[in-house]
Every structure is written in C-alpha cells, then in structure tokens.
C-alpha cells in the first residue's frame, strides 16, 4: 500500500502557500518519513484524529482552523478517497452517480494544514500516548480523537460471514460494497425477489435500511417493475415507520413486503449458496439480497480500551471517553444516549470535542455543549421525509431538548422542499468536513 503524509512546517502557514506540483512532490517524499520509528511533529500540542469520516474529518478541520496554528493536528485515515454512507442509497436508487459521494483530503491538508496520514491505525498505547500504525511507525499525541465508525458483526446473522458479503453485500460501509449491491440490483432477473435483512438496534443510521428499500424500489420501478422486495426485520418497529409505509403504498404498491420479528419468528439461517433465508414463518428464496447485520464500534476503539461492550461511553459535555480523559470518541462508535448514530450527529459531536480539546490545550474558551441531528430520507422522486432533534449535555447523558418529524399526507411541495433541504445539507456537511 502506498502511504502518504502531508506535513506542515512550524512557523509559517506552509500549506496555504504550497502549489499542487510541490504538493505532489511532498507526498512522494513523505513515504520515507513514515519508515522512521516514530513521526515527530514539533513542540506544539499534538492532537491525533483516527478516522476521516463525518466525525474525524470535521474534528481535524475545526481543530486546525480555530487554533490558528496553535495546535498540531494529524488525521490518520487509511483511504485516500472517502465515500459517504449518507446519500449512498440515492446512488442505489439511480438518483446520484457514484462519483458524487466521493471526497478527498486535499482541502484539509492544503487549506487547513492538517497532517494527513494514509495509514491504518492498529493500536493505541494509552500510557505512552502513541498511536501505532500498520507500517510499524507511531505518532505521539497529547489528545486523541477516535472516530472509526462501525465494524460489522457478521455472526449476528447465522450463516453470514466476511466471505459471504461478496455474494450478499451488507453495503453498510460505503465504497466497493455499495457498488457491488448496485450491480446486484441492476442485474437481478425480471420479476425476481430481492430480500433484505435489516439490522438489530443499535446501528448506524436508524432510517437508513428503509431508505435503502425505498431507493431499490425506485430503481426497480424503472428497470424491473414486476420485482418484489421482502424485508426481514429483527425488530417490530423502526424509525419513521408510518412515513415509509405510506410512501411505499403510494409509490410502489404491491412491491414491498415488510415482515416484523414477531411475524417471521427470527432468521434461523441464511444459505448463501442457494440464497435462501430460513425463518419460522417460511423459507424465502432470493434472486438478489442484502444483509445488514448487527454492528459495533470500529476495532481501534476496542484496541484503545475505551469501549464497554460494543460501544464507547462518553462524557456528554465533551465527548471525552469515560475510560481515558485524553481520548475523545465521536460518531457511530460512541454511546451517545438518545442521539442517533448518523453523519449529522458525528459532525455535531466533532465540533463540541474540537472546542473542548482546543480549550484544554491552549486555554481558549470552552463553550457549553449543544448538539443537533437531522436524518433525511428520500422515498420517491422529489419525496423527502425527515426526523431530528436538538440536544444538550445532561449530567449523565446527552438529552433531547426538542424533536421534529415529517407528517403523513404532506403535500408534494413540502416533500420536495424537504428533499431539496437534504441536498443542501449534503453539500454543506461535506464542505464542513473536507474544505
């Protein structure tokens, strides 16, 4: 694997002056730097951020931007190009192309002076305060931000495995899995059956599986109108359920069958070879399928010892780990009480953490924590629905202060406005993450 590190110099805003030509040269030269036993980043307070998604990229950007050079910020992210999970369902539905959900880290490096290291973070030495990389090198930190997203609990669905995901993709991490699922959808036989296994609580993006169903149905309506979709859910209810079911009846009558846990009695086994899903109710035969299993915090959080079971407890006023005051855990990996695991949540949490870290390292003002979230879902052409809330830091947990949700039977103008709002949000959050 080719590794890049984009370094900033001490004493001047080097990255704001660098040209693309010299930037390319720097990337090449920096590979040698990673061969050293450790990476020394100067005498400034050092913050290392693991994970370049909605939480990590935002935290790195705000730490670098707001500290105005007073904090040395390093982002460790293995991927050179980040594909968002949010809006990936729109790609499955034929509403967006794949390139539109991909982003790079050039802006963070060049505009903000963030040291971007394309490497795997494999472990954390909490005592020495070092992040160990897959290359054998390490990076020292004064404060560490862990925002690794989720890992898949394949074992939560009997018969599923890492090997099986090439036949039945989960596509719950964006990238090649989403492309594979798109291919399965587009090449399913006419009039065939698509089976989706939804995840158990808690999981990334509560409305996400049902937006996925909507968008696959949206694609089938155009290319495979006699196709059927069967949803086998380990739950008896889900986020925005009434809104989704009304939309399915309106846009895709007779195409989608959602079966709750009490009705099917549990998924006993999945035969990947025959594409059969065995339940107490029946054995469902699929022509194409997606399984979204249970989830846990990304493995680096476990390696850092900041988890309690599958997720990581945090202090609600700062997103600090309850296990280590020098570590902050953001986004999907965190145990954020009533705040859902979403890209919007991670972005909001990152700003709280960045402010707290900057204040603790530089003596700048630390503002009271305020959080927010909105989850939009596209259910049909220009038909968007949403749910969200504002939150505050309680003594023991993050608490909702106000909530809102779309209503059934809204007019078409309202629904289009909601969809347009989501498009604006996507452009806004990705700019907030990567510019």
Q: How far apart are CA 59 and CA 53, in angstroms?
A: 10
> Is 233 found in the same domain as 111?
no
Contact 233, 198 (CB under 8 A): yes
Residue 40: the pLDDT is 45
Q: What region does 170 belong to: left with phi over 0, alpha with psi -120 to 50, or beta?
A: alpha
- Candidates 251, 271, 277, 308; CA nearest to 198 is 277
| Domain assignment present for 319 | yes
- Predicted confidence band of residue 118 (pLDDT cuts 50, 70, 90): very high
> Is 340 found in the same domain as 222?
no
Mention every residue, 6+ apart, whose C-beta is less than 8 A from residue 383.
Answer: 247, 251, 412, 415, 416, 419
Task: For the chain, give the mean pLDDT.
Answer: 92
| Domain assignment present for 376 | no
Residue 220: the pLDDT is 98
Residue 416: the pLDDT is 98
> Is 114 found in the same domain as 161?
no
Domain edge (last residue) among 367, 400, 423: 367
Q: What are the pLDDT digits (tens) for 327-341?
A: 999 999 999 999 999
Secondary structure (3-state) at 50: strand
Q: How far apart are CA 58 and CA 71, in angstroms?
A: 15
Q: How far apart are CA 57 and CA 74, in angstroms?
A: 10
| Domain assignment present for 123 | yes
Residue 1: the pLDDT is 30
The average pLDDT across 375-385 equals 98
What is the residue range of 193's domain? Answer: 155-294
- Predicted confidence band of residue 43 (pLDDT cuts 50, 70, 90): confident
Domain edge (last residue) among 352, 367, 382: 367
- Given a cut of 70, is residue 21 above it in pLDDT? no
Q: What are the pLDDT digits (tens) for 227-265?
A: 999 999 999 999 999 999 999 999 999 999 999 999 999
> Is 228 found in the same domain as 112?
no
- Given a cut of 60, is residue 147 above it in pLDDT? yes
> Is 162 found in the same domain as 57?
no
Secondary structure (3-state) at 152: strand
- Given a cut of 60, is residue 426 above it in pLDDT? yes
Q: How far is CA 160 from CA 74, 150, 163, 296, 411, in A?
A: 37, 17, 8, 16, 42
- Candidates 270, 243, 281, 263; CA nearest to 418 is 243
**CATH code of 279's domain:** 3.50.50.60
The average pLDDT across 125-154 equals 98
Q: How far apart are CA 414 and CA 406, in angstroms?
A: 9
How many of the other CB atoms lie within 10 Å of CB of 183? 12
Q: How far apart are CA 139 and CA 36, in angstroms?
A: 11
Domain edge (last residue) among 243, 273, 294: 294
Q: How far apart are CA 98 and CA 114, in angstroms?
A: 27
| Domain assignment present for 355 | yes
> Is 15 found in the same domain as 123?
yes
Q: What are the pLDDT digits (tens) for 300-332?
A: 999 999 999 999 999 999 999 999 999 999 999
- Given a cut of 80, is residue 295 above it in pLDDT? yes
- Given a cut of 50, is residue 277 above it in pLDDT? yes
The average pLDDT across 107-127 equals 97
- Predicted confidence band of residue 365 (pLDDT cuts 50, 70, 90): very high
| Domain assignment present for 107 | yes
Mention every residue, 6+ apart, whose C-beta is less than 8 A from residue 157.
Answer: 197, 267, 270, 291, 293, 294
Tokens 């001047």 sit on residue: 12
> Is 88 found in the same domain as 67?
yes
For residue 302, what are its two tokens? 């476990």
> Is 220 found in the same domain as 163?
yes
> Is 133 found in the same domain as 62?
yes
Mention every residue, 6+ apart, whose C-beta is less than 8 A from residue 1.
Answer: none
- Given a cut of 70, is residue 16 above it in pLDDT? no
> Is 120 found in the same domain as 70?
yes
Residue 36: the pLDDT is 35
Please name the helix (run of DSSP H) or strand (run of DSSP E) that holds residue 92, with its range, or none. helix 88-92
The average pLDDT across 270-282 equals 97
CA angle at 251 for the pair 245 and 257, rounded to the nearest 5°: 45
- Predicted confidence band of residue 30 (pLDDT cuts 50, 70, 90): very low
Q: How far apart are CA 175 and CA 198, in angstroms?
A: 19
Residue 214 half-sphere exposure toward CB, CA atoms < 13 A: 31
Q: What are the pLDDT digits (tens) for 44-91?
A: 999 999 999 999 999 999 999 999 999 999 999 999 999 999 999 999
Residue burial 368-392, b: 16+ Cβ < 10 Å; e: rest: ebebebbbbbbbbeebbbbbbbebe
| Domain assignment present for 372 | no
> Is 125 found in the same domain as 195?
no
Residue 35: the pLDDT is 31
| Domain assignment present for 344 | yes
Residue 7: the pLDDT is 40
| Domain assignment present for 435 | no
Using a pLDDT cut of 90, give the percent of the chain over it.
90
> Is 279 found in the same domain as 190?
yes
Give the number of domains in the chain. 2
Residue 156: the pLDDT is 97
- Given a cut of 90, is residue 28 above it in pLDDT? no
The average pLDDT across 365-376 equals 97
Q: How far is CA 216 from CA 182, 203, 230, 379, in A?
A: 9, 20, 12, 10
- Given a cut of 60, is residue 347 above it in pLDDT? yes
Residue 368: the pLDDT is 95
């Amino acid at each position: 694997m080719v590794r890049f590190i984009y370094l900033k110099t001490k004493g001047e805003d080097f990255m704001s002056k660098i040209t693309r030509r010299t930037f390319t040269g720097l990337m090449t030269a920096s590979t040698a730097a990673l061969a050293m036993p450790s990476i020394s980043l100067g005498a400034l307070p050092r913050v290392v951020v693991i994970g370049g998604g909605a939480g990590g990229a935002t935290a790195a950007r705000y730490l670098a931007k707001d500290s105005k050079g007073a904090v040395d910020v390093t982002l460790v992210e293995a991927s050179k190009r980040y594909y968002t999970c949010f809006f990936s369902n729109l790609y499955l539905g034929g509403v967006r192309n794949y390139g539109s959900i991909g982003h790079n880290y050039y802006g963070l490096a060049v505009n903000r002076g963030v040291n971007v290291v394309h490497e795997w973070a494999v472990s954390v030495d909490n005592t020495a305060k070092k992040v160990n990389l897959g290359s054998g090198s390490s990076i020292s930190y004064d404060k560490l931000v862990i925002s690794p997203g989720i890992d898949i609990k394949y074992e939560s669905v009997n018969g599923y495995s890492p090997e099986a995901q090439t036949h039945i993709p989960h596509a719950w991490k964006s990238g090649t899995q989403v492309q594979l699922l798109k291919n399965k959808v587009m090449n399913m036989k006419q009039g065939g059956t698509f089976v989706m296994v939804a995840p158990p609580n808690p999981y990334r993006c509560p409305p996400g599986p049902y937006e996925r169903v909507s968008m696959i149905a949206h694609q089938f309506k155009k290319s495979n109108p006699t196709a059927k979709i069967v949803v086998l859910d380990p739950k008896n209810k889900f986020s925005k359920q009434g809104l989704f079911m009304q939309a399915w009846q309106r846009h895709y009558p007779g195409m989608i069958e959602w079966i709750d846990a009490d009705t099917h009695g549990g998924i006993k086994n999945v035969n990947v070879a025959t594409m059969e899903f065995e339940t107490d109710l029946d054995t469902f035969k699929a022509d194409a399928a997606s399984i979204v299993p249970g989830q846990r915090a990304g493995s680096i959080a476990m390696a850092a010892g900041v988890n309690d079971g599958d997720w990581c407890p945090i202090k609600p006023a700062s997103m600090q780990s309850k296990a280590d005051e020098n570590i902050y855990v953001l986004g999907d990996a965190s145990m954020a009480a009533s705040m859902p695991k979403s890209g919007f949540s991670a972005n909001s949490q990152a700003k709280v953490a960045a402010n707290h870290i900057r204040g603790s390292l530089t003596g700048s003002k630390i503002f009271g924590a305020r959080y927010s979230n909105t989850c939009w879902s596209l259910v049909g052409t220009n038909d968007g629905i949403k749910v969200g809330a504002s939150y505050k830091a309680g003594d023991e947990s993050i608490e909702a202060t106000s909530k809102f949700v779309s209503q059934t039977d809204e007019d078409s103008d309202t629904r289009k406005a909601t969809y347009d709002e989501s498009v604006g949000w996507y452009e806004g959050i990705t700019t907030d993450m990567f510019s």
